[in-house]
Chains A and B, each alone.
Chain A
């Protein structure tokens, strides 16, 4: 019997959700925080 494609997609989505994504999202948040910190410094340093 052919597998239901929607179930297959859902499975792959679940599988992909767990691998390394949290680390990537943390990198993005960290980069944003670093950028804002740099902007605050720039504002204060050249005020």
Chain B
């Protein structure tokens, strides 16, 4: 790697960590450490956005679009609606009760055991996610840049631990602003560069037509198919419940907007995200689609997986590898002729000639796909790495090979900043819940502020250490972004069910809610691990949430009047 890129990465990251530590060096109040200080809506908005946008978002999402188009954006359709409900109902209640942990609300409404259950579910699923948040970018960056995996994981982990232990939630908010600035600048530059490169071959609309002809501008799917992962309905309904759970009942997000100066600032911070998240996600996916179009003009590598793997495949069986590679290159040349023909037909006014060229292009593309999958299959078989998904490596390959020196460093700083920003929120939230809901609530009561401050710092470091350990020993699971969403969907529904019952159904009492939550959680895990029903994972949010409400209501009907 060029020294300028290394310097760009180093200066960006060290400056952010230093700023986080320096800005919070005089913080002494427990409240400030656990909740953050009085932030304005702009800081809250960026902090909420930075928490959700992990490195996986910027590595995996363009790759997902490269592979299968834009349908993933539908997942976010329910989010603005969920944020409105949270702004109207949840935020005022959390402020009114002056909560430090959102699960305290469950104790106010139900009882201590229900609060502990909610907190425990959060610690399990968020603890797991924190590990993936560090592991995901590390495995990709180390394999393509040749960095040492352990050093990367420990380096990223320790940098986050440093400013999170020093400044807690306040440091997290402060650093988020600058991390989001780096992230948005870097992504905008990458977008500009890919547009510039494809415009050298054809007009923007023609490039979009190529993407559309090859099935990559399939943004909205209106079909009612429960087996499909992304449809407008799963996005609106499942996405609504996933977002309601994530933003309304997940401490790592609630802590961000509860750090506001007032209800007004928190609500505006949430509306900032409600307005901008879908367009932002759309643009990240469009970036992936444009990278796909770029690689229709320029021959892509045999595989986007690390070059060490292709080298290994070549040395294992050079003849077979060469044969597969030549076949792919021939098919690619044929496709290029078909693309030129299609663009020419579009320029001549479209019509039936364009339709015929389009079909030719689609057939040529299928042949390329087949030749490429044979080549990839050969590489996977000879290297024994059949589980590695190429989509996670597409964007980083483009960055490393097509961006100029200096900007490569900036884009890697984007990925590392994103990893740090979401990990910091997670560690801060995990430490807050461990301190407030477990340590202070069950084990060591009535000690002074200094004691709990020290405990919070210890728990932050402990969770950071656990996340690093998990990242060091984790192994690949499906596409990384989907792994995080699947884990979230398996647990969020239950907690959301508890919160919705607490907010909206007065009749339901503590015992009924607690039993229903246990049954719902076990049922969802059973459904997922036994494959009893084949459904998209977003539906688990809805199923678990509905189960908690229906079962708790039924139990309450049997028990009779609400117990206190």
Residues of A within 8 A of B (CB): 6, 9-10, 12-13, 16-17, 21, 24-25, 27-29, 31-32, 35-36, 39-40, 42-43, 45-47
Q: Known contacts A42-B217, A46-B209, A47-B212; is A36 also within 8 Å of B98 by CB?
A: no
Is B92 touching A39 in the complex (CB atoms < 8 A)? no
B464 at the interface (CB under 8 A from A): no
Write out the residue numbers on chain A whose beta carbons fall within 8 Å of the beta carbon of B98. 6, 9
Write out the residue numbers on chain A whose beta carbons fall within 8 Å of the beta carbon of B275. 27-28, 31
Q: How far is the CB of A1 from chain B (nearest CB, A)?
A: 20
Return 26 A-B CB contacts under 8 Å, by A number. Answer: A6-B96, A9-B96, A16-B262, A16-B263, A21-B87, A21-B267, A24-B271, A27-B275, A28-B80, A28-B274, A31-B80, A32-B80, A32-B81, A32-B278, A35-B278, A39-B73, A39-B282, A40-B220, A43-B218, A43-B219, A45-B212, A46-B208, A46-B209, A46-B213, A47-B212, A47-B217
Q: How far is the CB of A7 from chain B (nearest CB, A)?
A: 10
In angstroms, Cα B88 to Cα A17, docked, is: 8
Write out the residue numbers on chain B whose beta carbons fall within 8 Å of the beta carbon of A46. 208-209, 211-213, 217
Is A28 touching B77 in the complex (CB atoms < 8 A)? no
B232 at the interface (CB under 8 A from A): yes
Q: Mark B37-76, 1 if CB is under 8 A from A, else 0.
A: 0000000000000000000000000000000001001000
Q: Known contacts A28-B275, A35-B278; is A16 also within 8 Å of B219 by CB?
A: no
Write out the residue numbers on chain A whose beta carbons fall within 8 Å of the beta carbon of B83. 28
B149 at the interface (CB under 8 A from A): no
In angstroms, Cα B275 to Cα A35, docked, is: 10
Write out the residue numbers on chain B whose beta carbons fall within 8 Å of the beta carbon of A24. 271
Write out the residue numbers on chain B whose beta carbons fall within 8 Å of the beta carbon of A29. 80-81, 84
Q: Known contacts A28-B275, A46-B209; is A12 also within 8 Å of B220 by CB?
A: no
In angstroms, Cα B77 to Cα A25, docked, is: 15
Write out the residue numbers on chain B whose beta carbons fall within 8 Å of the beta carbon of A43. 217-220
B279 at the interface (CB under 8 A from A): yes
In angstroms, Cα B262 to Cα A31, docked, is: 25
B322 at the interface (CB under 8 A from A): no
Write out the residue numbers on chain A whose beta carbons fall within 8 Å of the beta carbon of B208. 46
B264 at the interface (CB under 8 A from A): yes
Q: Known contacts A9-B98, A13-B95; is A28 also within 8 Å of B84 by CB?
A: yes
Q: Mark B76-101, 1 if CB is under 8 A from A, else 0.
A: 01001101100110001001101000
What are the nearest 7 A-B pairs in CB distance? A46-B212, A39-B219, A13-B92, A46-B217, A28-B274, A32-B80, A39-B220
Is A42 touching B219 in the complex (CB atoms < 8 A)? yes
Q: How far is the CB of A13 from chain B (nearest CB, A)?
A: 4
Q: Which residues between 178 and 225 of chain B lie within 8 Å of chain A, taking CB atoms? A: 208-209, 211-213, 217-220, 222
Closest to B219 in A: A39
Is B96 touching A32 in the complex (CB atoms < 8 A)? no
Is A28 touching B271 in the complex (CB atoms < 8 A)? yes
Write out the residue numbers on chain A whose beta carbons fall within 8 Å of the beta carbon of B274. 28, 32
Write out the residue numbers on chain B whose beta carbons fall within 8 Å of the beta carbon of A21. 87-88, 267
Write out the residue numbers on chain A whose beta carbons fall within 8 Å of the beta carbon of B211. 46
Q: Which residues between 207 and 257 of chain B lie within 8 Å of chain A, taking CB atoms? A: 208-209, 211-213, 217-220, 222, 232
